Amino acid sequence: MAIITPQLIKSLFTAYKANFQKGLGMAAPQYTQIATTIPSSTASNTYGWLGQWPGFREWIGERAIKSMAAHGYQIQNKSYESTVGVKRTDIEDDNLGIYAPMFQEMGRATSVFPDELTFPLLKEGFNTQCYDGQYFFDNDHPVNSQVDGQGTDTSVSNIIEDANYKGPTWYLMDTTRAIKPLIFQERKKPRFVAMTTEEDEAVFMRGEYRYGVDNRCNVGFAFWQMAIAVKAEFSLDSLWEVHTRMTEYKADGLRPLALKPNLIVAPPSLEKKITQTLNRELIQEGNTTVSNELKNRFSTLISRRL
C-alpha cells in the first residue's frame, strides 16, 4: 500500500502531464488547412477589416486612405474543459496504470479539439451570418460596383446546387493566402492543471484528485469569397464550374480578386469518388479518350467531422 505524500502527488502530476504531452502528438489536426489562427487578448475580437481586400492603385497626388469597414463582425471567446478524477484508493493500492491511457487520450482530444469546432462550422455556414450580414454560404452576397460604396450592389452566390442531388455537400476553397476562409480565435492555449491538495474539497470529501485541461477559444468566418459549397454530384464538370465561379469573384469596385481555388474539402463518403475522379490519367469525352486536365490540380482534405 502506497503512502500518499506531497512528493508522491507531485510525481504523479509529472507522470500524468507526460502522458498528456504524449497524447498531443498522437493525432494530426486538420483545422490549420482551412482556418487562420488569430490570437485574442480580450473576451472577443471584432473583425472590422473583413470586407476589405488590400490592393494597389496608381499613386497620383495623395494616398487614398480607406478606413476599416465598420461591419462589426465579432467572435466571442468560449471556455472549454476536460477533467479526469483519480481516486485516492487507486493511489494507495498502486493501481495507477489504468489512468495513463486516459491522460494520453486527453492529450489527443486536446490536439484535435479545434477540428471539432472548425469543420462543423462549415455546415452552420448555411444559417450563420458572416461579416456582410448574409449567411456565409448564401446566394445574395452584396458586391458594390464602386470602391467608395456609392455604386450599385450586385448579388453574388457562393453556393452551387442541383435540386435533384441527394448526396453530401462538398466544398472548394482557396487556402493559398495569408487569411483562410475560416478563423480559429485563440484566447488561451490549453493548460494542464491539477487540484490535489488535502484542503481541496473533492480530496477531503470524496477522496478524489482531479486533473484536467482548459482553454478559451472560438471559431468564425473570414472571407466568403474563398469558399464555395457544392450540393451537386462530384465530377470534373462540377469541379470546373465551381473553380470557374471562384476565379471570377470580384471585390468592391469590381476589382478581380484573382483567387486560386486549390483545396477540396469533403466527408468520407465522397473520398472514393473524388480519388478516382482526380487520379485518372484519361477520361472519356463522348467517343474520345482525352487526358484528365484536372489531375494533380487540387489537394483533397477528407474530414470525418463533416
pLDDT digit string (tens) for 58-73? 455 554 444 434 456 8
Q: Which residues are 38's β-sheet partners?
A: 185
293 and 303 Cβ atoms separated by less than 8 Å:
no
Residue 118 has pLDDT above 80, yes or no: yes
Residue 257 has pLDDT above 70, yes or no: yes
CA distance 297 to 257: 20
| Mean pLDDT (whole number) for 163-186 | 96
- Taking only the tens place, the pLDDT of each residue in 62-111 is 544 444 344 568 999 999 999 888 887 776 766 667 788 889 999 999 99
Q: How many CA atoms lie less than 13 Å away from 142 in the CB half-sphere?
A: 13
pTM passes above 0.85:
yes
Q: What is residue 253's predicted lDDT score, i.e. its pLDDT? A: 80
Question: Nearest 5 degrees, angle CA 118-CA 124-CA 125?
Answer: 90
| Mean pLDDT (whole number) for 176-182 | 95
CA distance 211 to 193: 6
Pull the grid cell for residue 48: 472590422
